[in-house]
């Protein structure tokens, strides 16, 4: 290295300015604070040659030495440092003030040799915290590397140069050099050594294992930093149900875009690497360990699944009371999937939860086979089945059978597990059965066939045109398919049909004029059917059944009161139907009455309103009320047995006395549970907990089927059962927070290659 005396050596030979390589296009000169220009080469710092152009430097040299700070980093370069000196570098290193005047560098570049002034920038000290400036050597150094970098730590064991052993002075390429320096392995090691040095000196010791093996500790630090963005992207994709893999999701991963679709996961890594220098370096420079392979993806997904499942299982076991909810469906590959969910109360916040656990494939659909499958998997998940207090299934014989159904076999092992048929489904069945009144059934059949009739593109365009030119404010654009098992869907299909009634009639009338005989004949028959008085009246009755369903959800007494005043209530229905009929010049009359009628009610009356009230409206209401009583009788028995099995009469009387004093009366079992002190009213509190845990409906498992259809599509129909469940857990339980540290901790428990240390 050029000494200070050589640096300021007098020279009258200005020809030395030309001591540069002939192929260089620029000449750089340094002008000190006293305007002393010094020419240097534009090469990197270890090739820089300085040539003195000034004659006055003897006094300046002594003046600079007098003003230098004792903790200037230039005093520590190229020395064997003690721990005290290393501590001085890390804690007391001199930094110039914002007003410090750095020497200027003049660069002559281009064909016309234009000059440009450059100098060390004070802001670099804030941008790069490891950077230090030496006034003694007029250059920049890396604080950590000066203190800890070992000799020969460069690439291929080369001797370290600028920023470590020599001052960096090429300000034109400063930012590029500083950023590149951060990526060097010996710099990372120096940062780690500095952190370890400070921890030891401040008595913040690392583990004994890591103190004995600093290389292992450094590898753990690097592995965790590099795997963090990979974990975050995988969790994001799984929660958003974004498929990870592509056509070729292996091989070297670069930041540049590729013509081959190698999957969303690798593309998202590229996108993130463009704004993450550390990730970019890891992906481009790492030879083997990148954590992006399908094996690493599955390991991360498995760990995330374990975290979610363990959190749910812990809350269920803490509640000491839960209901199992089960239903089954066939996936796109034809595999029968059993969805297992649990319903429980989180005692920490007293909130009701219905949580999905797993999809379990099965080939045994018998009651005994399904019951064994349910109980075995609950135990496998880690749930204590002695706290099973409820069962929620559909009404199929295999599930609800009194002797050979799932509920019967489960109850043999767990007598306190009460079976409850889904109330929403029971109500749906009650409405569906009551709609089997012949006139209503025929009306629904006609609406369904009309929907299929307008599915053909040419016919559909006629209906769409009629909707567009309609003067009415119509929000619907097409007919909906009615569902045989869900009555509410049938209600929506009838509601849409009623709104589009005029447009449908106009479209049918136009299609009747077509040359195609079959189509025109069908359209004519449909038009005659929908303009029949019986169809119009029945359609309005069917729409009004939504009101009956709403009343039934409140109380059966209100529905019976509605039936009691059937004459008054039917008047509104009849008037609405008459308005529709008048638009098409249809007169509402009594259908033809036969002397011997077996399949249709013969009402002896001449009044059309009275006829349809007696033959359609009242039979519908009577059937609905009868179905409700029979289907919900089981629920009443369950609640009565629940009260009689626990001897808490005196405690319940005390609770009633407290209840009278409450200003805000509880509206449901959860509200009652929140206001019931478990220490004072332990029995009543447990009763409310069981009551809240018993299912009113089992909609959660139905929603899991929707997730199943989104995850296991025709493009991913060969997905393994294990991966399907892992993805389903992340997608369904979006609200469960999973931190990167939790995933890394779970990964660290698994066996892996020795190089993959977490």
Q: What does the pLDDT look like over 599-620, one tens digit per residue?
A: 555 667 778 888 888 888 888 8
The predicted structure's pLDDT at residue 718:
80
Q: What does the pLDDT look like over 483-517, one tens digit per residue?
A: 665 656 666 778 888 888 888 888 999 999 898 88
| β pairing state of 351-361 and 336-346 | antiparallel
Cα–Cα distance between 87 and 756 in angstroms, integer? 33
The mean-pLDDT minimum among 50-54, 245-249, 581-585 falls in 50-54
Q: What does the pLDDT look like over 265-314, one tens digit per residue?
A: 888 888 888 888 888 888 777 666 677 888 888 889 999 999 999 999 99
Give the helix, strand, coil percentages of the chain, each rounded to 5. Answer: 55, 10, 35
Q: What does the pLDDT look like over 72-83, one tens digit per residue?
A: 999 999 888 888
pLDDT: which is higher, 650 or 392 = 392
Residue 738, C-beta contacts closer than 8 angstroms, at least 6 positions apart = 235, 304, 307, 308, 730
The predicted structure's pLDDT at residue 377:
94
Contact in structure between 297 and 268 (CB atoms under 8 Å)? no
Give the SS3 label for residue 297.
Answer: helix
Q: How buried is 23 (Cβ within 10 angstroms: 0-12 exposed, 13-18 middle, 19+ buried)?
A: exposed
Q: How buried is 443 (Cβ within 10 angstroms: 0-12 exposed, 13-18 middle, 19+ buried)?
A: buried
| β pairing state of 139-142 and 131-134 | antiparallel
The predicted structure's pLDDT at residue 56:
38
Give the SS3 label for residue 331.
Answer: coil
The predicted structure's pLDDT at residue 634:
57
pLDDT: which is higher, 735 or 249 = 735
Per-residue pLDDT band at 362 (split at 50, 70, 90): very high
Per-residue pLDDT band at 645 (split at 50, 70, 90): very low
DSSP string, 483-545: -SS-HHHHHHHHHHHHHTHHHHHHHHHHHTTSS-HHHHHHHHHHHHHHTSHHHHHHHHHHHHH
Per-residue pLDDT band at 60 (split at 50, 70, 90): very low
The position carrying tokens 């969790």 is: 235
Crossing angle for the helix pair 277-285 and 214-239, to the nearest 10 degrees: 110
User: Is the pLDDT at 2 greater than 60, yes or no?
Assistant: no
The position carrying tokens 């409206």 is: 617
Mean pLDDT of the chain: 77
Give me 641's structure tokens. Answer: 């047995």
User: Is the pLDDT at 388 greater than 90, yes or no?
Assistant: yes
Q: What does the pLDDT look like over 534-543, one tens digit per residue?
A: 888 777 666 6
Contact in structure between 345 and 689 (CB atoms under 8 Å)? yes
Q: What does the pLDDT look like over 216-264, one tens digit per residue?
A: 777 778 788 888 889 999 999 988 888 887 656 666 777 777 777 778 8
Per-residue pLDDT band at 321 (split at 50, 70, 90): very high
β-strand partners of 140? 133, 168
The predicted structure's pLDDT at residue 112:
66
Q: What does the pLDDT look like over 167-186, one tens digit per residue?
A: 998 888 899 999 999 988 88
- Give the best-scoring range by mean pLDDT among 221-230, 522-531, 666-675, 695-704: 522-531
DSSP tag of 166: B
Domains and CATH numbers, the chain: 4-178 (no CATH), 214-292 (no CATH), 300-422+696-748 (3.30.420.10), 429-629 (no CATH)
């Amino acid at each position: 290295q050029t000494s200070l005396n050589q640096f300021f050596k007098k020279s009258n030979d200005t020809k030395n300015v030309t001591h540069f390589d002939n192929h260089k296009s620029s000449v750089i000169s340094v002008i000190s604070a006293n305007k002393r220009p010094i020419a240097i080469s534009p090469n990197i710092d270890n090739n820089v040659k300085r040539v003195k152009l000034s004659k006055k430097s003897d006094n300046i040299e002594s003046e600079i030495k007098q003003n230098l700070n004792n903790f200037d980093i230039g005093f520590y370069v190229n020395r064997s440092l003690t721990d005290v000196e290393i501590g001085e570098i890390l804690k007391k290193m001199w930094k110039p003030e914002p007003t410090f005047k750095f020497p200027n560098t003049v660069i002559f570049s281009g064909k016309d040799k234009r000059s440009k002034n450059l100098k060390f920038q004070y802001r670099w000290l804030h941008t790069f915290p490891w950077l230090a400036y030496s006034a003694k050597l007029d250059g920049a150094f890396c604080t950590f590397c000066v203190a800890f970098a070992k000799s020969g730590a460069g690439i291929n064991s080369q001797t370290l140069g600028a920023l470590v052993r020599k001052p960096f002075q090429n300000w034109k390429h400063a930012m590029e050099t500083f950023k590149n320096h951060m990526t060097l392995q010996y710099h990372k090691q120096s940062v780690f050594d500095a952190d370890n040095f400070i921890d030891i000196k401040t008595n913040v010791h690392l583990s004994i294992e890591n103190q004995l093996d600093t290389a292992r500790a450094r590898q753990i630090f690097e592995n965790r930093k590099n795997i963090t963005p990979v974990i975050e992207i995988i969790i994001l994709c799984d929660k958003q149900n974004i498929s990870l893999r592509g056509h070729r999701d292996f091989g070297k991963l670069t930041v540049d875009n590729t013509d081959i679709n190698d999957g969303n996961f690798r593309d998202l890594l590229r996108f993130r690497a463009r704004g993450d220098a550390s990730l970019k370096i890891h992906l481009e420079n790492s030879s083997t360990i990148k954590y992006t392979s399908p094996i690493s993806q599955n390991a991360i997904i498995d760990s995330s699944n374990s975290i979610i499942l363990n959190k749910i299982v812990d809350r269920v076991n803490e509640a000491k009371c839960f209901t199992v909810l089960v239903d089954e469906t066939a996936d796109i590959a034809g595999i029968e999937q059993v969805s297992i969910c649990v319903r429980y109360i989180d005692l920490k916040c007293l909130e009701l939860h219905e949580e999905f656990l797993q999809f379990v494939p099965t080939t045994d659909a018998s009651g005994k086979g399904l019951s064994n499958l349910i109980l075995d998997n609950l135990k496998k998940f880690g749930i204590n089945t002695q706290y099973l207090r409820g069962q929620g299934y559909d009404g199929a014989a295999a599930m609800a059978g009194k002797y050979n159904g799932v509920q019967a076999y489960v109850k043999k092992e767990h007598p306190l597990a009460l079976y409850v048929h889904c109330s929403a489904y029971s109500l749906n069945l009650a409405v569906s059965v009551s709609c089997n009144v012949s006139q209503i059934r025929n009306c629904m059949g006609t609406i369904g066939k009309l929907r299929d009739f307008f599915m053909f593109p040419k016919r559909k365009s006629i209906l769409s045109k009629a909707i567009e030119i309609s003067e009415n404010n119509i929000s619907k654009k097409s007919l909906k398919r009615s569902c045989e098992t869900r009555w509410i869907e049938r209600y929506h299909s009838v509601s849409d049909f009623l709104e589009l009634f005029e447009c449908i009639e106009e479209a049918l009338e136009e299609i009747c004029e077509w040359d195609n005989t079959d189509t025109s004949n069908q359209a004519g028959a449909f038009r005659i059917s929908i303009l029949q008085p019986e169809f119009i009246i029945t359609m309005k009755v069917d729409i009004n059944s939504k009101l009956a369903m709403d009343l039934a959800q409140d109380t059966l007494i209100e529905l019976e009161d509605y039936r009691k005043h059937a004459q008054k209530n039917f008047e509104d229905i009849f008037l609405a139907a008459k308005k529709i009929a008048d638009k098409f010049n249809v007169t509402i009359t009594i259908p033809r009455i036969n002397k011997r009628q077996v399949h249709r009610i013969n009402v002896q009356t001449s009044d059309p309103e009275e006829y349809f009230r007696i033959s359609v409206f009242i039979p519908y209401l009577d059937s609905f009320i009868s179905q409700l009583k029979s289907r919900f009788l089981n629920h009443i028995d369950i609640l009565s047995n629940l009260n009689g099995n626990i001897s808490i009469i005196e405690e319940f009387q005390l609770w009633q006395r407290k209840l009278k004093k409450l200003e805000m009366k509880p509206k449901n079992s959860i509200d009652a549970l929140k206001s019931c002190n478990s220490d004072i009213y332990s029995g009543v509190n447990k009763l409310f907990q069981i009551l809240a845990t018993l299912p009113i409906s089992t909609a959660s498992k139905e929603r899991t089927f929707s997730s199943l259809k989104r995850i296991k599509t025709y493009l991913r129909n060969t997905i393994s059962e294990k991966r399907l469940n892992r993805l389903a857990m992340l997608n369904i339980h979006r609200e469960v927070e999973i931190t990167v540290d939790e995933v890394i901790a779970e990964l660290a428990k698994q066996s892996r290659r020795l190089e993959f240390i977490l």
